[in-house]
Amino acid sequence: MIKKLIPFFLIIVILLVWFFIFQNIRTITSSVHYNKDEYKSVASETLPKFKFVYKDLARDPFILQKEKESVSEPKLDISLQGIVISKGERLALIKMSNDVVYPLRQGERFKGIKVEKITRGAVVINVEGRRELLKLQE
């Protein structure tokens, strides 16, 4: 008779232990409150504003484009905004006439220009067969 009551008694003990554990979890989670004033945020007015557009490119700047995709325009107003050198990769940040900065890799063609060489202070581009040197502005 006692052997038949042992499993029943064990089940009751296990259920009671589970009940108390879950009851404690509920009280712990309900007592945790976060104060919104503890976490400060940076006002967007203090952050610098950049006109750097990547989403309109719909491409990876580290992958060369095919030559047939290049489009030639009559005269481009081009300026060099920056050069990024990281782990052997070089990107020229070139600002076009539409005031948008495009990241271009060495050997890449985009809107009628081809980036031929990227150095620390300048970029050599080819526009409609003419070579031009773009230097970083101090």
Residue found by looking up tokens 């503890």 in the block: 38
Pairing type for strands 89-95 and 122-127 reads unpaired
Amino acid at 87: K
Question: DSSP assignment, residue 38?
Answer: G
Q: Would you list the domain boundaries of the chain?
A: 1-33, 45-135
* Residue-by-residue pLDDT tens, the chain, 138 positions: 778 888 889 999 999 998 888 877 777 666 666 565 555 555 555 556 666 555 545 566 677 766 555 555 455 678 888 898 888 788 899 888 778 888 888 889 888 889 999 988 899 999 888 899 988 876
Name the CA dihedral angle for 109, 115, 118, 123, rounded to a multiple of 10 degrees. Answer: -140
Task: Name the token pair of 138.
Answer: 């101090």
Indicate the class that CATH gives domain 45-135. Answer: mainly beta
Nearest CA-CA partner of 83 in 29, 136, 34? 136
pTM of the model: 0.45
Q: Exposed, middle or buried: residue 9 (CB in 10 Å: 0-12, 13-18, 19+)?
A: exposed
